[in-house]
Amino acid sequence: MNDIKQFLRSNALRPTKQRIVIAGYLFDGTDKHVTAESLSTELTKRKHIISLATVYNTLHDFYENGLLKKLTLSADRVYFDTNTDDHHHFYSEKEQFLIDINKNIKVNGLPKTPKNKKINKIEVIVHLDK
Amino acid sequence: MNDIKQFLRSNALRPTKQRIVIAGYLFDGTDKHVTAESLSTELTKRKHIISLATVYNTLHDFYENGLLKKLTLSADRVYFDTNTDDHHHFYSEKEQFLIDINKNIKVNGLPKTPKNKKINKIEVIVHLDK
DNA sequence: TATCAGTTTAGAATGATTCTAAAGTATTGA
DNA sequence: TCAATACTTTAGAATCATTCTAAACTGATA
């Protein structure tokens, strides 16, 4: 609890009740993939009434501060990943199936980066169904 | 024109005026990346009045028949690619910048595919900015 | 503890996409 | 060639994730 406050403060985030609850859930040591909706549902299940707007705000605040990774898996919702290490994913849209690939994947044969641009990140998505 | 009709028919698509116009534009020999919106704008520019609903329907019909690839680049719109070969992309969300990587990219070090699943496609997105 | 900047929130707004159902059109067989 | 049928197109409404608004609230600071 105080570690969480400290953790939030050290990331320039005021430790509000809501952020403490959400951070406590997200950063409990196990990697998680959440959407605003799934997180909201989980919080409700745990009797934490936090508005959906705040869930969105908090996910973005955490993301902006590098505490979450944003995943581009399908066009109909945004996923956030508590594992911020460089890694990739197996994904099944149909089954909402999503697992980390932590192995060191190597992408070989990339052409030159376009002029005056630099690579921010390389995302590999292994789609398991259409 | 008749080739286009033939082309549509051979893909089990009735060659309607709208589909002929859209196919004529999309499959003119140059690779294209479009969204429903961008395609609609382009058609309007060419004095072809086709409803947005039809643009969506047609993109999906073409996609369902394997004439287009669907790209998962950002969560706020769907991109379609006339290049249906196995290939990847450089992408800048900020600048709406999108180019094909046709070189043979190799992804090495993939772990075992999850039990009872099979890989549909591997998508590599090289993000050029956040 | 008062002040103030940063937060939360309900509800409205937005924007891409899908749905509905009515009107239009390609296809088919006689 | 034509009528019957099935497939398409369309405007406008509906949906749904997400963002916005602006008013109430709260953590930090002095």
**Across the interface, do A128 and B109 touch by the CB < 8 Å criterion?**
no
Residue B127 amino acid letter: H
User: Which of B111, B120, B128 is opposite residue A120, by nearest beta carbon?
Assistant: B128
The two beta strands, B121-127 and A121-127, are antiparallel
pLDDT digits (tens, 9 = 90+) for B33-60: 999 999 999 999 999 999 999 999 999 9
Topology, domain A2-127: Arc Repressor Mutant, subunit A (1.10.10)
DSSP 8-state symbol, A76: T
- Give the residue carrying structure tokens 């082309």: B7
How far does A57 lie from chain B, in Å, by closest CA? Answer: 17
Range B1-11 average pLDDT: 92
**Across the interface, do B127 and A109 touch by the CB < 8 Å criterion?**
no
**Residues shown for chain B:** 130
pLDDT exceeds cutoff 80 at B117: yes
**Residue B77, both tokens:** 């719109």
Q: Rounded distance, CA B69 to CA B32, Å?
A: 11
Q: In terms of Cα–Cα distance, which of B94, B71, B96, B95 is closest to B83?
A: B71
Q: What confidence score (pLDDT) does residue B78 get?
A: 96
Q: What confidence score (pLDDT) does residue B97 get?
A: 84
**Across the interface, do A120 and B110 touch by the CB < 8 Å criterion?**
no
Chain C: nucleotides below 7 Å from protein CB are 6-11, 16-20, 25-27
Q: Which nucleotide is nearest to A14 (CA to C1')?
A: D27
H helices of chain B, where? 2-9, 17-26, 36-45, 52-64
Range A53-71 average pLDDT: 98
**Across the interface, do A103 and B109 touch by the CB < 8 Å criterion?**
yes
In whole angstroms, C2 C1' to A16 CA is: 20
| Non-local CB neighbours of B55 within 8 Å, separated by 6+ positions | B22, B36, B39, B40, B43
Q: What confidence score (pLDDT) does residue B130 get?
A: 59
Percent pLDDT > 90 in chain B is 88
Q: What confidence score (pLDDT) does residue A12 get?
A: 94
Which residue is closest to A115 within chain B, CA to CA?
Answer: B128
pLDDT digits (tens, 9 = 90+) for B63-81: 999 999 999 998 889 999 9
Which residue is closest to A113 within chain B, CA to CA?
Answer: B90
B93-B99-B100 Cα angle (round to 5): 130
Q: What confidence score (pLDDT) does residue A83 get?
A: 96
How many Cβ atoms from other residues are within 10 Å of residue A31's Cβ?
15
DSSP 8-state symbol, A111: -
How far does B123 lie from chain A, in Å, by closest CA? Answer: 5
pLDDT class of A130 with cuts at 50, 70, 90: low
pLDDT class of A96 with cuts at 50, 70, 90: confident
Give chain A's count of helices (H) and strands (E): 4, 7
pLDDT class of A26 with cuts at 50, 70, 90: very high
Q: What confidence score (pLDDT) does residue B103 get?
A: 82
Mean pLDDT, rounded, of chain B: 94
